[in-house]
Structures are given as structure tokens and as C-alpha cells.
Amino acid sequence: MEKLLSNTFQTLAKNKTANKMAKKYGLKFGARRFVAGDVTEQAIECVRKINQNGMVAMLNYLGEYVFTVEAALEATENCLKTLDAIHESGIDSNLSVKITSLGLDISKDLCIQNLKLILDRARVYGNFVRIEMEDYSHCQLTLDIYKELRKEYENIGTVIQAYLYRTEEDIHDLNRYNANLRLVKGAYKEPISVAFPKKSDVDKNYEKIIKTHLLNGNYAGIATHDDVMVEKIIHFTEKKGIPKTQFEFQMLYGIRSDLQKKLADLGYKVRVYVPYGTDWFGYFMRRLAERPENVSFVLKNTFK
């Protein structure tokens, strides 16, 4: 049943009709737990509260898979406005972007052009931009763009997904770039031809790539809500003498606030991923697909 629900939500995440309906009716049906709001001001206030609790943030203006130049330019402008708002408000947050929203499916050159505008603005503010990793069909393109821009920009990072077979090789390859990586398990529905089907294998690979990346001396954003994994990484870094300044724990807005605060109180850097905007449906569906308890929360609160 759990697998069936997960597959259903993964399929809905890419359903254009469902996405249009979601935009029309707004952040209802429990989505507000995971999405900070429709507009920048709401997201800024959300991050301000996170900062007051001793944590930092990563803002993401939601959007993906655009197929017109106009939509790509609009997404780029929204990212620039987000960087402006971060700077003007004085909050501690960097920016995360999905490059399919910047026109990757239209033209690689268009996407790079838009991404450079964002990176240039962030560099002026002394801020950092993370290129998100999306589905497998965009994986190589995303890494190619990251490597190209990493030669010119220091303030750029990307994401690596542990559920892909190719990931261990990618970790070794990206070591040449001293890559700042957000390390995740992966949230997209992928075939067994490219991704581990068993959670236990994903967990094993996840632990391996975290340790490899840290031992290579590179900065890691360890994105997990798993208590066991967190304890393993803390024990590993203490044993190997890896300083707390070389990594941070990253978690999603609305999930495991207790663990976020606990780690912050222990002196670990904790960064909360804070998405906002009207194009929230795909993100919300993937959160439901990831964790059965999220579905339970939504069902309990839909009619309150």
C-alpha cells in the first residue's frame, strides 16, 4: 500500500492538469506545512524565524519544467528578486534553483545565460547558489553545466542523489572541482535500470558517498531527516577529526523541526530548505511520496 501511494504521488507530481488546479486553489490540503507561502515576503519572515532559532536557510522559488522563453525569464527574474530580498532583509539564507525552470529544456545556452545572471547577482551580495538535481534525464546536463560554471564562479554548488548507480563515480569526478555538494537520497521516480530499487541499498550508498566526500576534504550539505544516519555521520566526523565547519545538516521546512533544533543546540550548522511560490504542487507531491507520515498529516488536517 505504501509503495502504491508513493507511485501515485510521484505520477501526480508531473501531472500538468493537477498542477494547474493546485495553482488555482492555492496552498490548501496541508501544503502549507511544507511550503512557506505564495510570496517573497512570507518566505523572508519564515527564514527570519528560522534564523532566530539558531539555523540558516536555503530559499527556493518553486518552479520546474518550463517550455517557453517567457516563463524561463520570469523564473530568472523571481530568483533575482529573491536574492535582492535576502540581501535587503539581512536574513541568513542562500538560494537554490531548479534549472529546468530557467529554460534547460528549451536551450542549454538560454539556461546558462539565465543562471549566470543569478550567479552574478549572488556574487555581488556575497551569496551562494545551489543548482538542484532533478530527474535522471537531466542529470548529466546538470553536472555539465555545473562543471562549466564552476570554472568561473566560486559561489556555486550542486546536488548528488544516492539512489543512482552512477553517483559514486560522480563523487570521485566532482572532487576535481572541490565541489560543494548537497547530498540527498533522491526523490524522483526512476527505473531500476538507473536507480537502486531497495531502500537499504540507497541508505548504504548514501552513507558511503557522504564519507567519501568528507574524506576528500570537500564541503558537504548532508540532507537527511534520519536519526540513525545523523548519528552515524556525527560519530564518523568526530572519529576522523573532520571539523564542524566542513559540513552542515540540511532538512526540509516542515519536517523534523525537533531534530533541526536539537542539532543546532549541539553546535552543528543546520540549514532549512524553504520553498515558496505558487508552483508548489510537484514539490508537495514528492514530499508525500517520500514519507507516509506526511500523508497522514495531510489527511488529518485537510478538513480542519
pLDDT tens, position by position, 257-283: 999 999 999 999 999 999 998 766 666
What pLDDT, in 10s, does the model give residues 177-208? 999 999 999 988 899 999 999 999 999 999 99
For 183-202, b/e burial (b = at least 16 CB within 10 A) is bbbbbbbbeeeebbeeeeeb
Q: What 3-state class would DSSP assign to 96?
A: strand
- Does pLDDT of 300 surpass 80? no
Q: Is pLDDT above 50 for 298? A: no
Mean pLDDT lowest among 17-26, 55-64, 117-126, 237-246:
17-26
DSSP 8-class letter at 93: E
pLDDT exceeds 50 at position 297: no
Query: Greatest CA separation found in the chain?
Result: 52
Angle, helix 281-290 to helix 16-25, in steps of 10 degrees? 110
Question: Which segments of the chain are extended strands (E)?
Answer: 56-61, 93-97, 129-131, 156-161, 181-184, 220-223, 247-252, 270-276
CA proximity to 143, closest of 133, 156, 155: 133
**pLDDT score of 129 more than 80:** yes
Q: Does position 6 have pLDDT exceeding 60, yes or no? A: no
Share of the chain above pLDDT 90, in %: 75
Higher per-residue pLDDT: 289 or 178: 178
What is the C-alpha to C-alpha distance for residues 19 and 147, in angstroms, rounded to an integer?
Answer: 32
Mean pLDDT score of the chain, rounded to an integer? 87
Whose cell is 511550503? That residue is: 35
CA distances from 212 to 158, 170, 176 (A): 16, 11, 13
What amino acid occupies position 144? Answer: D
Q: Which residue has the cell 528578486?
A: 81
Higher pLDDT, 145 or 10: 145
